[in-house]
Structure 1
Amino acid sequence: MNKRIGMYSSIVTLIGVVGFALSMFIGSDDGSYLFSLFISWGFVPMICSFSAVACKENNSAGYAAIAFSAMYAVVVGLVYFAQLTTIRLSELNEQVLAILDYKNLGSLFFNYDLFGYAFMAIATFFIALTIEVNNKKDKWLKLLLLAHGIFAVSCIAMPIMGVFSSNMKDGNIIGVLVLEIWCVYFTPICILSYQYFKK
């Protein structure tokens, strides 16, 4: 059952990543938010599955990964659900939108989103420590997960340093490009995770 859930959740995460990339490409904000929720709904059980199949001596790393993945899902879930409901369906004044609208670079919810992805990155780092390398695919999976953990530093540091702001020139284009690159990076993680559970 653990491996089966791992396989299915890897597929859900992959669908979320591909759907997110396509939504950004065609300029569908609502699609991007919805598929971002799918990523989190697949990611948490995928991390739990990695932890479940890991050897006992790696339990602490697995538990840490589960905790950070849950924190990621809660934070980004609140951000994207708010965008799909309150922001989309309500007539809010400019001051409220400046705080809650994800599309406003440097807004509270934009910064919360980056904070959530820092938790995701930390989760991938810890879960990489539980991966047992038996072949080249496992080695690549472990390396990609470990390297993904580095994103946590930028996700926390950039909002604190005020890198993003509403008057940033070409900020939206740069943001979309960075996220598309992230999708290209995370897609093989989903595929290799599926293969890791399938064997």
Structure 2
Amino acid sequence: MNNRTVGVIGSAVCGASVLCFAVSMIVGIFVNTLFFSCFASMFIALGFMLFICAVSGSNKDNEKRACGNVSLVCAAIYVTLIFLVYFAECTTVNLSPRLDEKILSIIDYGHTGSLFFNYDLLGYGFMALSTFFAGFLVNKTEKHGKTLSLMLKIHGIFFPSCFLVPMFPLFNGGDGDTLTGTVLLLVWCAYFLPVCCLGFGYFRNKKS
């Protein structure tokens, strides 16, 4: 399996998972779809990991090797945090409905401002940082390369907000403003889904 194949698979998995996540968020306005949202998010992480590894592996410029290393490390931190949060939500929290409220206020992602909610934000902050450095690795002479590079770099602006917001009393715990959170997540999906599509086209047209 070469870099091109890994990139195509990673982009496809990530894009399909982002779409599934967006659908689950919309349906979640009417019914509880937290489990499905978390399940889809784990596959976003898996696809993203493959995509970033392919981008880094395809880079032939030794002067940009540091960017590749930073991007890979940040992607690894993102995947670790995301699986820590969402795997706990899909297993321990989902299968133990009688957990004490104090415990849920720490490990339940559905509780705005909980420890795992903040871990989730931190994870997506590192995802943004990973895409920022990955943007410097994309070959702009390849088809879709210039647009993909720009969108990956712009996605990096999510890092400061994801990193700093949990440190301020903007969230007071509990369920929070669910509708506002849903809208913000859908905005992110609307931005990142095209990134995945561009990544798919970039690697599909890339020579092995």
User: Is the counterpart of residue 114 in structure 1 residue 115 in structure 2?
Assistant: no
- Partner of 1:34 in structure 2? 39
CA distance in 1, matches of 2:6, 2:27: 31
Pairwise mapping of residues 1-199 of structure 1 onto structure 2 (< 5 A)? 1-27=2-28, 28-55=33-60, 56-90=62-96, 91-134=98-141, 137-166=144-173, 171-199=177-205
CA distance in 2, matches of 1:165, 1:5: 41
- Higher mean alpha-carbon deviation, 158-167 vs 73-82, is at 158-167
Code of the aligned partner of 1:60: A
Unaligned regions of 5+ residues in structure 2, if any?
Answer: none
Shift of 1:136: 7.1
After superposition, the C-alpha distances for 1:139-187 in whole angstroms (9 at most, x for unaligned) are: 2111111011110000011101122222686x11111100000000001
CA distance in 2, matches of 1:88, 1:190: 30
Q: What is the RMSD computed on CA atoms of the aligned residues?
A: 1.3
How many percent identity over aligned positions? Answer: 40
Helix, strand or coil for the counterpart of 2:144? helix
Helix, strand or coil for the counterpart of 1:163? coil
CA distance in 2, matches of 1:114, 1:85: 20
Structure with bigger helix share is 1
Q: TM-score, with normalisation over the residues of structure 1?
A: 0.96
Unaligned regions of 5+ residues in structure 1, if any?
Answer: none
CA distance in 2, matches of 1:121, 1:77: 17
Are 2:111 and 2:174, in contact at CA under 8 Å, matched by a contact in 1? no
| Matched pairs, number | 198
* Moved segments of 4+, more than 3 Å: none
Q: TM-score, with normalisation over the residues of structure 2?
A: 0.92
Helix, strand or coil for the counterpart of 1:129? coil
